[in-house]
């Protein structure tokens, strides 16, 4: 049924058409030229979709990756092991979260970096240990065989000798040949070490068959190397 109430905002001689509803501002109502008709139906508004929140990144995954990287500088093996523990804990958290927690990619990167760190640290430790052992042995040989005050005094009588070398130790331009010495005429003088220096007196052992040396007052001096 039409509303016959006159509208002061619409002149009585106004042509038929849609005008603001005097009883419900914000809506339109039809004016037929003499009376109000039905109100315009409300236009439905589309519902606004609420944003879907993505998964949060696991805190353990972040901390683990940071520790795995830091382990290359500080506490290599210890930090890497802690990083692996955090990655394992984070993986369990992600699996139980039903998609609410992410960070699986970070855990994978953490494991790769941490295991590489542990492997490199172990290899480096073994190399250092071998070098340290070698250095102790080599250092002992240097002290025992390359010190002129020890090796040049043979305890042999004065004279010329021939040494059939079986060992050779070199440090920089110094060397020591060890082997059995003999006097001319094949008289065995015993096992001795003879000190030498420079490239002429210290060729490689594979190039040496005889070391000729001379003893004066118990001090040996290499004469030639053949």
In this predicted structure, what is the pLDDT of residue 203?
Answer: 86
Q: Which residue has the tokens 């382990």?
A: 71
pTM of the model: 0.41
| Helices 76-96 + 59-70 axis angle, to 10 | 160
Calculate ∠ Cα 143-144-145, nearest 5°. Answer: 100
- Helix residue ranges per DSSP H, the chain: 59-70, 76-96, 104-145, 148-151, 198-201
Is the confidence at residue 2, as pLDDT, over 50? no
Surface-to-core class of residue 103, CB atoms within 10 Å of its CB (0-12 exposed, 13-18 middle, 19+ buried): buried
- Biggest alpha carbon distance in the chain? 153
In this predicted structure, what is the pLDDT of residue 152?
Answer: 55
In this predicted structure, what is the pLDDT of residue 52?
Answer: 57
In this predicted structure, what is the pLDDT of residue 1?
Answer: 43
Is the confidence at residue 201, as pLDDT, over 80? yes
Average pLDDT, the chain: 76
Is the confidence at residue 95, as pLDDT, over 80? yes
* 132-160 residue pLDDT tens: 676 544 444 444 444 444 445 667 778 88
Which one is predicted more confidently, 102 or 189?
102
* 11-51 residue pLDDT tens: 556 787 777 777 777 777 777 777 777 766 666 666 655 66
Give the dihedral sign, CA 9/11/12/14.
negative
């Amino acid at each position: 049924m039409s509303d016959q109430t006159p509208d002061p905002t619409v002149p009585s001689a106004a042509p038929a058409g849609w005008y603001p509803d005097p009883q419900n501002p914000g809506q339109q109502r039809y004016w037929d030229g003499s009376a109000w008709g039905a109100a315009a139906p409300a236009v439905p508004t589309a519902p606004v979709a609420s944003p879907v929140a993505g998964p949060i990144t696991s805190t353990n995954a972040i901390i683990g990756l940071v520790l795995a990287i830091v382990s290359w500088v500080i506490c290599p093996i210890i930090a890497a092991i802690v990083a692996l523990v955090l990655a394992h804990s984070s993986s369990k958290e992600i699996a139980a979260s039903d998609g609410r927690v992410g960070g699986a990619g970070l855990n994978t990167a953490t494991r790769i970096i941490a295991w590489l760190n542990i492997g490199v640290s172990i290899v480096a430790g073994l190399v250092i240990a071998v070098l340290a052992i070698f250095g102790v042995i080599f250092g002992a040989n240097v002290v025992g065989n390359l010190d002129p005050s020890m090796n040049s005094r043979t305890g042999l009588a004065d004279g010329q000798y021939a040494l059939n070398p079986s060992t050779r130790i070199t440090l920089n331009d110094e060397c020591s040949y060890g082997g059995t010495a003999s006097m001319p005429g094949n008289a065995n003088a015993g096992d001795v070490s003879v000190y030498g220096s420079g490239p002429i007196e210290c060729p490689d052992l594979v190039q040496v068959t005889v070391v000729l040396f001379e003893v004066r007052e118990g001090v040996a001096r290499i004469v030639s190397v053949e």
